[in-house]
Structure 1
């Protein structure tokens, strides 16, 4: 795929940079740094909103918790389709143009929340904002492919680490507003999210371009990604592994509070540990994942680590408070190692098995699988883990181990059995 003169330098986040303290934190000057800055601005706004959205809808808008849950779930289902459309549009009309359009729509739809006072308008706006949320990554991945040098998966790992850091910073700022617990404070966070969309769009205009859309794969009839059997197998496997992301944000906090003697502040402590590890180690975890074969091995490692972490989490129920805290810290550290390896493998699959001329379409399909896993995760956690207790943790641990172990042979078999 042809690149502009500025993007022909095959550089990545870990390549040689100008000397200085910031050299270790910033990608090479040029398109990589611009795209990283846009990601930082957008995900900081995301941190503001996701931390406070439930409180805004219940305390400011005045909706019951059940209606908020229904609205967000409905939006998530709609968003699965939007992810496919966003990738397809990016391939045909250019990823830079599409990304800027997605950010502009995001700012408009987010503003609409200021005028929502009843359930049905909330449902409508939730669906629109969820569509933007899903279209964002599938339309951004062609930019990552275009400007990521020889190893776009490694650059995406860098962006993922930055995403976690920015969301954490946004959550800290949101925490100050939540502490104030006033209408004005919650509205200011919503306005901040809107401005983050606008800021991201402005930063994206500095990218060289327009980024060319695909010319070969997109001219083929139908969805070429759906004819790539090894890619589809990897998509299904990744979607099955994806359910574990609900552990630190949904299952484990409730498990700690309701089933262990650990103090409540342990919930914040383990979330902080998870966030810091992901933000600081994601690039390192993906550095050696340079092929789909290596991605398969990391999926196996991920399955082993996730299994071990979940078994330890189950063991935290029963011991004394401080023993439970130590077990939970160890469990979170091991679990996060599995999360890092899974993310590294997922990024390599999504790029290494994709046709470069139709990266948006492939990303939309891949994220459809991930989105399905995310949608099922709360139910799986609620029924299996929180409903069954310790046996549920062990069953889920075993299933994740099996999925991780099956990844490499299943993808390889599909590639041999159904080549091309």
Structure 2
């Protein structure tokens, strides 16, 4: 460990690379994350107090928006393979910025529903488009580390956005700063996108097959297992807070602190956790360790269903947060390594978009299924989740290996067909 690694300020300084391209990508991520942090942390307050919607209406709209990602991530990934990626990303981020600004004009639930789903549809498209740009402009061995840096920067920006939303929530007259501030920050991100290289369409002789990624069952098996391992999101954001508030004697003030612990952990350790995940085999091994850490966290908190002691419960909950935080940085690194490593060059955007389904799917199904299981079954519910994570951890390696072998075989076939086609044209 170097001297800089032992000092928090040194670790933060290492998030600023010397390369201009990487600095621009990080600046785009920071501006976008801050804007999203402002909106996501302040949206409930804004729509209930300023617009006058009920909590149920806001919750329904935000839940419905999650389904948009199941379609748009693959769709925009395919588009990214066929157009200039910078143009597409700029258009998407710019339209999302306009959408955030339009929130300030919303006055009815219907307007809110239409706008929140439309914005989510566009916003989910920014992920695979940005990943396609990284796949085009950044060498293979550097992509996972760059994504880790971008994720640390995202957490810093998102935290800053939460601070802006908190200031806006001090007065009802200031609440309009939540959508307007988000729009301005996303607009700044769109301007920064224009300074990236164009990211030309995939220049291979082999034309991408429409919806080829979602027809690739071996690839989808990796995506599905990654979705299971990404359940740390629901466990940390929904299930653990609900369990802590309803089933333990822990004081409520501890619940918000759990997310603070997690955010700080990700900021300082995400880049380190990316080491070794640059290859498919390394990424699968990192994913396996992530699953085992999730299982350990579930086992730790399960004791609170048996021993009803407030001090023990608080210690178990904090231990679970730390275990889930370790799992989070590992699983994120695993997902990047697998997504980039298993995406064929001729259809990188579509495959990267399809891999994003592991988060979108988890966001839709995870909170309902996992919270229902744990709250209803208590100790055995937590142990069932732990068992599921162990199973996914053991299966991710073989699934990734089969997908990599299939991709290599298809690439070899395409390479053999290309010279034959060239000879026929002579």
TM-score, with structure 2 as normaliser = 0.88
Alignment of 1:42-191 (within 5 A): 42-149=32-139, 150-178=141-169, 180=170, 182-191=171-180
Distance in structure 2 (CA, Å) of the matches to 1:415 and 1:353: 6
| CA deviation string 1:383-411 (max 9, x = no partner) | 11223222211111110111111110122
Distance in structure 2 (CA, Å) of the matches to 1:395 and 1:106: 39
2:265 is equivalent to residue 277 of structure 1: yes
Q: SS state of the match for residue 316, structure 1?
A: helix
Q: SS state of the match for residue 189, structure 1?
A: helix
| CA deviation string 1:261-307 (max 9, x = no partner) | 11212112221111111111111101221211111211211111100
| CA deviation string 1:345-404 (max 9, x = no partner) | 111011011123322111111112321121101111331122322221111111011111
- 8 Å CA contact 1:217, 1:358 repeated in 2: no
Distance in structure 2 (CA, Å) of the matches to 1:23 and 1:278: 15
- Number of aligned pairs? 399
Distance in structure 1 (CA, Å) of the matches to 2:324 and 2:63: 26
Distance in structure 2 (CA, Å) of the matches to 1:281 and 1:217: 41
Partner of residue 421, structure 2: none
2:398 counterpart (381, 406, 409): 409
Distance in structure 2 (CA, Å) of the matches to 1:256 and 1:289: 33
Note closer, same or farther for the CA distance 1:72–1:21 as it changes in structure 2 (3 Å cut): closer
Distance in structure 2 (CA, Å) of the matches to 1:109 and 1:306: 36
2:355 is equivalent to residue 346 of structure 1: no
Distance in structure 2 (CA, Å) of the matches to 1:164 and 1:218: 38
- 8 Å CA contact 1:217, 1:224 repeated in 2: no
Distance in structure 1 (CA, Å) of the matches to 2:97 and 2:390: 41
Partner of residue 25, structure 1: 15
More off after superposition, 316-325 vs 100-109: 316-325
After TM superposition, give the deviation of residue 23 of structure 1 in Å.
Answer: 4.8
Distance in structure 2 (CA, Å) of the matches to 1:28 and 1:146: 19
Partner of residue 254, structure 1: 242
Note closer, same or farther for the CA distance 1:228–1:381 as it changes in structure 2 (3 Å cut): closer
- 8 Å CA contact 2:294, 2:386 repeated in 1: yes
Partner of residue 8, structure 1: none
Distance in structure 1 (CA, Å) of the matches to 2:347 and 2:205: 6
Distance in structure 2 (CA, Å) of the matches to 1:380 and 1:203: 39
- 8 Å CA contact 1:299, 1:405 repeated in 2: no
TM-score, with structure 1 as normaliser = 0.90
- 8 Å CA contact 2:207, 2:346 repeated in 1: no
Partner of residue 9, structure 1: none
Distance in structure 1 (CA, Å) of the matches to 2:11 and 2:379: 47
- 8 Å CA contact 1:302, 1:404 repeated in 2: yes
2:195 is equivalent to residue 206 of structure 1: yes
Distance in structure 1 (CA, Å) of the matches to 2:272 and 2:344: 26
More off after superposition, 331-340 vs 312-321: 312-321
Partner of residue 37, structure 1: 27
Alignment of 1:219-230 (within 5 A): 219-226=207-214, 228-230=216-218
- 8 Å CA contact 2:93, 2:123 repeated in 1: no
2:287 is equivalent to residue 299 of structure 1: yes
Partner of residue 310, structure 2: 321
Note closer, same or farther for the CA distance 1:295–1:116 as it changes in structure 2 (3 Å cut): same
After TM superposition, give the deviation of residue 322 of structure 1 in Å.
Answer: 2.5
2:388 counterpart (366, 375, 399): 399
Q: SS state of the match for residue 386, structure 1?
A: helix
After TM superposition, give the deviation of residue 77 of structure 1 in Å.
Answer: 1.0
Any gaps of 5 or more consecutive residues in structure 1? 1-13, 15-19
| RMSD value, Cα | 2.1
Distance in structure 1 (CA, Å) of the matches to 2:284 and 2:11: 35
